[in-house]
Amino acid sequence: MLKNKILFCLFIVINHILLAQTKTDSSLSLSPKERSIVAISAHTAQGNMPKLQMALHDGLNAGLTINEIKEMLVQLYAYAGFPRSLNALNNLMGVLEERKKKDINDAAGKEPSPYPAGKTMLQTGTGNQTKLTGRKIGGGVYEFAPAIDQFLKEHLFGAIFGRDNLDWKTREIITIAALAAMEGTEPQLRSHFGVGMYNGLTKNQLAELVTIIETDVSAKRGIVARQVLQAVINQKPYTMATLPDEVIFPLGQKIDNGNFIGTAWLKQLALSDSSNQTAIGNVTFEPGARTNWHLHPGGQILLATGGLGYYQEKGSPKRLLRKGDVVKCPPNIPHWHGASHDQPFIQIAITNNQNGATVWMQPVTDAEYNNN
Ligand code: MN
């Protein structure tokens, strides 16, 4: 009897450990919805309608809304052409009818908000393209054929990416899956792997996306996509070694005070004193490094100057920080900041010490760090 009890307790403990591990691992991988987005996009791009229909059922069963799927298939016209996009939309209509007959009620989902007022589509699109890629796009082929530059900005980055019922990370999953499934689009795939990482997709998630292409879409396309992904991962600017390109201030001293996880560096730029109680420091985080949870009684302003980072306030989703982003942390709100999974992050922290010094709290666990 006692032996059984002990065995049962052991079973519970092991189960908890396994569950905790699965939770940590799964937060670093694509969600079931995202996996079905990969399949839907790739089959649409290839024009494989029987497989698309199965992927549409899987996506709806995983909780994708009708409007989300419509939005994906509309976006795909820019990558795979109107015929593929229209064929896929027709198949979606058929799948939805079939499900209705079986009394399956799929959620309609959100409509996009109106476009920003007072701006031309070209202005909106140019702004979105610069924010999405982190740089101004021009020259070369865009100068040779200005019409394609205009249409890309107006249609793709303005009219399509300007619709907010899919976020940009999701839109990059759609784009990458379509480009990986098509033949001869390796240069665009290469650049979108980079854009995807810049918009919060991790190397692990991209590798998983490629595995779906390899096993569910085309083994040949999967192998090519894996080679392209490896080349992007090996390339700048995703390592500490390539940071000097973006560095304004020196690295400074390695932080060794127990308030950080991983390796981070601090260059104190200005100390607070009686005439000005603001402290300014330049902090460089290696990939995966982050502060513990903490709060500032007088608040803090963060200026992101390089790499890719995260910022999270207690109870809110994690925010992606890119060069040029500004965060105003309110006084006394527990939060953490640090580098993203695969890339370093540089920030200038401006801390108001008027109401007291930073209050340090518990470390940010891997589960918290990996979570969205
Ligand atoms: Mn802070």
How far, in Å, is the centroid of ligand 1 from the Cα of 331? 10
**Interhelix angle for 219-234 vs 186-198, to 10°?**
60
How far, in Å, is the centroid of ligand 1 from the Cα of 330? 10
Closest by CA position to 268, among listed 256, 279, 255:
279
The residues that bridge with 360 in the sheet, in sequence order, are 294
Q: Is the pLDDT of residue 246 over 90?
A: no
The confidence score (pLDDT) of residue 358 equals 95
How far, in Å, is the centroid of ligand 1 from the Cα of 358? 8
**What distance in Å separates the CA atoms of residue 261 and residue 289, rounded to the nearest whole number?**
5
- Point out the least confidently predicted range of 49-53, 120-124, 332-336, 368-372: 368-372
Query: Which SS3 state, helix, strand or coil, does residue 48 take?
Result: coil
* pLDDT grade for 19, boundaries at 50, 70 and 90: very low
How far, in Å, is the centroid of ligand 1 from the Cα of 327? 10
**What distance in Å separates the CA atoms of residue 302 and residue 201, rounded to the nearest whole number?**
23
* pLDDT grade for 9, boundaries at 50, 70 and 90: very low
The residues that bridge with 336 in the sheet, in sequence order, are 312
Distances (CA, A) of 31 to 150, 209, 308: 35, 11, 22
How far, in Å, is the centroid of ligand 1 from the Cα of 66? 40
Contact 147, 14 (CB under 8 A): no
For the chain, what is the mean pLDDT?
A: 91
Closest by CA position to 247, among listed 166, 305, 318:
305
How far, in Å, is the centroid of ligand 1 from the Cα of 260? 11
How far, in Å, is the centroid of ligand 1 from the Cα of 280? 12
Closest by CA position to 121, among listed 66, 162, 176:
162
The confidence score (pLDDT) of residue 298 equals 95
How far, in Å, is the centroid of ligand 1 from the Cα of 350? 9
How far, in Å, is the centroid of ligand 1 from the Cα of 346? 13
How far, in Å, is the centroid of ligand 1 from the Cα of 335? 6
- 70-104 confidence digits (pLDDT tens): 999 999 999 999 999 999 999 999 999 999 999 99
Section 29-39 average pLDDT: 96
How far, in Å, is the centroid of ligand 1 from the Cα of 143? 44
The residues that bridge with 321 in the sheet, in sequence order, are 309
How far, in Å, is the centroid of ligand 1 from the Cα of 258? 15
- 270-293 confidence digits (pLDDT tens): 999 989 999 999 999 999 999 999
Q: Which domains, ranges and CATH numbers included, belong to the chain?
A: 2-113+163-235 (1.20.1290.10), 244-370 (2.60.120.10)
For residue 97, count other CB atoms closer than 10 A to its CB. 9
The confidence score (pLDDT) of residue 342 equals 86
